[in-house]
């Protein structure tokens, strides 16, 4: 009955019925059929009200509306526009600079908004016309915008990670910490792809012309800045060669691969410095950043605590905080310590980075739960919007309405999934799925290959929320039985499920970009030229390389599990053998020695 039930659900979904009602109706219909055939115990349905109430009483799920509200407020506060404009000026002079800026801002928005639609639409409206204006290939431009927007699913505070943790019965904080490094590495792989494309085909991603670099400081000499940058790169290379930096990440990526990653980082740093981004550096900023980075490295090395996501957030916050102090002093006293571009970068980046520390930093170091972090993030977003003069009643109304709509969507799917799973478990469907998956040839590796292939194919047709509520509860017990770490398993599947946004022709990120990309020829407002529209085929072909990169990321997580399992380094680990030994010491020989007879003295 379980396979028939699962097949019927697929038919309901293919017919176009809403997922929540398809799940609930399928569960109730097959419960009645099972009772009629004697395959389902009616008393199972008595647990249904408790399951529904338990879902509505789940405090972890409160993080969903909090993070959604925070993301919507930030998306409408103009933060994305300032970030894209400023970071575009930083990278704009080099080939592929605007694409690098989109990836960087996409990762930053992902760590603050956590909403894919907001990121894709914001960057599509702002960056796509600029990229087309200066000669970017339409496939490269549309692909990098859609892919960078999907980083909101894997970089905390991702909504899907909250749902994933809830479905796998694991801590949301651990899921966030485990996903942080893979999310940053995925963004780095996107940047590596742009580097290769812009190097091999320079015409598809040209640099900005001088007239477009509005924040360029004509009085600043680029040679001293490049000298300072070269010194920074040389110092970085020295720390890598002596093993100081690679030692911090041996728990994430062991062996030669760890050295190779740091070598690539040093090369990229030198490339960007020599290519023009050194304009950010002035002697005072160089000294401030060097001191803060040296202090952070000393702190991580001397404390003996393994490198992890918490230190990434704290180090980044300390570095940017020091730069912000220098920028404020420079502006108040007009000291001329910073270039015009450097000062603008500092003031634009501090608010989102402060919000990242407020949310993720407090979660990672254990000060706040994810729900409390989401509440603080919402308050922080309101404060930022108020400081920018964007906090209006209409903004609050739209954000509240959209938050309620998405939260109700998630809750109804979860309630439908609870009804479906109750009947599915009642007919022993979970045992059927578990035995089917555990008995796959190849053990753990065979199981992982089969599961990833299944999720990848289903992502063509199902949204990531639907995958999380329908598929993950069936896969989790089998993974647990095979001895697979469920946090690692959840992060791996989250990266795989990210392809659901990018799959042609049903990817939601592609739909979001299609809604804001030009459909007819238009006159560019800056150059006055007639611009051709972006076709749907160009959007689809642009997404294909990034889907392949996401699959490469899945393979890297399988090959280097330490980049996820480092979350254990901050927790208390229990040694089961020592615990057993302590119990034996408390009652030596209890199982082998007969206790003496009880003597109350009545016979004397």
Taking the chain (604 residues) in consecutive chunks of 10 residues, what is each chunk's mean pLDDT? 80 79 84 81 77 76 82 76 77 80 84 73 80 85 89 82 85 85 89 88 79 60 60 69 64 68 71 59 60 65 53 65 77 73 76 79 76 86 84 86 84 82 77 74 84 83 75 84 88 86 77 81 76 85 90 89 76 48 51 50 50
Cα separation, 51 vs 62, whole angstroms: 17
Q: Is 485 left (phi over 0), alpha (psi -120 to 50) or beta?
A: beta
CA 5 to chain centre: 33
Residue 125 has a CB neighbour count (10 Å cut-off) of 17
Partners of residue 523 on adjacent β-strands = 530
Half-sphere exposure of 54 (CA within 13 A, CB side): 8
Distance from CA of residue 353 to its chain's centroid?
Answer: 15
On the 0-12 / 13-18 / 19+ scale of CB atoms within 10 A, 19 is: buried
Q: What is the pLDDT of residue 305?
A: 47
State how far Cα 531 lies from the chain centre.
Answer: 34
Q: Which helix (H) or strand (E) holds 414?
A: helix 393-426
- Both tokens of 6, joined, read 């699962």
Q: What is the pLDDT of residue 545?
A: 92
Query: Which residues on neighbouring strands pair with residue 530, listed in sequence order?
Result: 523
CB 498 within 8 A of CB 550: yes
Question: Which residues fall within 8 angstroms of residue 296, CB to CB, at 6 or more apart?
Answer: 311, 314, 315, 318, 319
Which residues partner with 531 through β-bridges? 522
Q: Could you say which DSSP state residue 503 is in?
A: -
Written as six digits, the tokens of 60 are: 């972890």
Residues 462-488: b if buried by 16+ CB within 10 A, e if exposed? bbbbbbbbbbbbbbbbbbeebebbbbb
Alpha carbon distance 486, 478 (integer Å): 10
CA–CA distances in Å: residue 271 to residues 25, 339, 505: 58, 21, 37
Contact yes or no for 160/494 (Cβ under 8 A)? yes
The size of the chain, in residues, is: 604
In contact, 282 and 338? CB cutoff 8 Å: yes
Tell the burial category of 214 from Cβ atoms under 10 Å away from its Cβ (0-12, 13-18, 19+): exposed
Alpha carbons 468 and 457: distance in angstroms, whole number: 14
Alpha-carbon distances, residue 33 vs 4, 20, 48, 423 (angstroms)? 12, 20, 17, 10
- CA dist 135 to 205, 297, 518, 527, 533, Å? 7, 41, 15, 12, 13
- The one-character DSSP state at 591 is T
Nearest Cα neighbor of 116 from 159, 74, 161, 65 is: 159
pLDDT (0 to 100) of residue 460: 76
pLDDT at 284: 56
pLDDT at position 549, please? 92
DSSP bridge partners of 522: 531
Backbone phi and psi for residue 332, each to the nearest 5 degrees, phi listed first: -65, -45
Which has the closest alpha carbon to 509: 551, 459, 454?
A: 459
CA gap 324, 291 in Å, rounded: 14
Tell me 339's DSSP state.
-
**For residues 322, 327, 329 and 334, what is the CA-based torsion angle, rounded to 10 degrees?**
160
- Between CA 124 and CA 147 the distance in angstroms is 11
**Rounded Cα–Cα distance for residues 559 and 182 (Å):** 12
């Amino acid at each position: 009955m379980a396979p028939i039930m699962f097949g019927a659900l697929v038919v309901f979904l293919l017919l176009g019925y809403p997922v929540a009602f398809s799940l609930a109706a399928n569960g109730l219909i097959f419960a009645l059929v099972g009772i009629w055939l004697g395959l389902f115990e009616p008393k199972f349905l008595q647990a249904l009200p408790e399951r529904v109430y338990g879902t509505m009483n789940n405090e972890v799920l409160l993080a969903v509306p909090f993070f959604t509200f925070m993301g919507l407020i930030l998306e409408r506060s103009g933060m994305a526009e300032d970030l894209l404009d400023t970071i575009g000026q930083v990278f704009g002079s080099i080939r592929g600079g605007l694409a690098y800026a989109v990836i960087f801002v996409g990762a930053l928005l992902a760590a603050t908004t956590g909403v894919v639609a907001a990121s894709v639409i914001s960057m599509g409206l702002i960056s796509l016309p600029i990229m087309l204006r200066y000669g970017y290939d339409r496939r490269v431009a549309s692909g990098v915008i859609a892919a960078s927007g999907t980083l909101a699913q894997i970089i905390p505070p991702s909504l899907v990670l909250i749902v994933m943790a809830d479905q796998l019965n694991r801590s949301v904080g651990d899921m966030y910490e485990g996903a942080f490094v893979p999310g940053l590495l995925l963004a780095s792989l996107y940047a590596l792809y742009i580097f290769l494309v812009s190097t091999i085909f320079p015409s598809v991603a040209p640099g900005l012309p001088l007239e477009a670099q509005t924040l360029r400081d004509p009085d600043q000499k680029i040679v001293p800045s490049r000298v300072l940058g070269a010194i920074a790169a040389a110092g970085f290379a020295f720390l890598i060669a002596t093993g100081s930096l690679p030692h911090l990440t041996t728990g994430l990526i062991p062996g030669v691969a760890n050295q190779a990653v740091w070598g690539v980082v040093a090369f990229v740093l030198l490339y960007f410095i020599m290519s023009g981004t050194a304009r950010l550096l002035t002697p005072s900023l160089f000294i401030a950043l060097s001191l803060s980075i040296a202090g952070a490295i000393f702190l991580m090395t001397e404390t003996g605590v393994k490198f992890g996501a918490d230190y990434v957030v704290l180090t980044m916050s300390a570095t940017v905080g020091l730069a912000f102090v220098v920028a404020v002093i420079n502006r108040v006293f007009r000291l001329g310590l910073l270039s015009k571009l450097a000062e603008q970068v500092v003031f634009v980046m501090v608010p989102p980075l402060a919000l990242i520390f407020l949310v993720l930093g407090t979660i990672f170091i254990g000060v706040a739960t994810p729900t409390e972090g989401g509440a603080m993030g919402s308050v922080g977003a309101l404060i930022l919007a108020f400081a920018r003069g964007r906090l209006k009643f209409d903004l609050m109304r739209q954000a509240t309405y959209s938050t309620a709509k998405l939260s109700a969507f998630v809750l109804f799917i979860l309630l439908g999934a609870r009804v479906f799973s109750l009947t599915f478990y009642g007919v022993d469907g979970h045992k059927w799925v578990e035995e089917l998956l555990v008995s796959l040839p190849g053990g753990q590796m065979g199981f992982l290959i089969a599961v990833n292939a299944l999720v990848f194919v289903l992502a063509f047709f199902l949204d990531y929320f639907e995958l999380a509520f329908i598929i993950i509860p069936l896969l989790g017990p089998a993974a647990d039985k095979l001895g697979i770490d469920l946090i690692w398993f959840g992060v791996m599947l989250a990266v795989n499920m990210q392809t659901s946004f990018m799959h042609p022709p049903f990817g939601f990120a592609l739909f979001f970009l299609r809604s804001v990309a030009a459909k007819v020829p238009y006159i560019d407002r800056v150059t006055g030229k007639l611009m051709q529209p972006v076709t749907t085929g160009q959007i689809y072909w642009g997404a294909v390389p990034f889907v392949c990169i996401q699959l490469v990321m899945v393979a890297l997580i399988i090959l280097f599990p330490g980049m996820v399992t480092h979350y254990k380094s901050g927790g208390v680990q229990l040694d089961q053998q020592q615990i057993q030994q302590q119990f034996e010491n408390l009652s030596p020989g209890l199982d082998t020695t007969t206790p003496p007879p009880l003597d109350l003295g009545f016979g004397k």
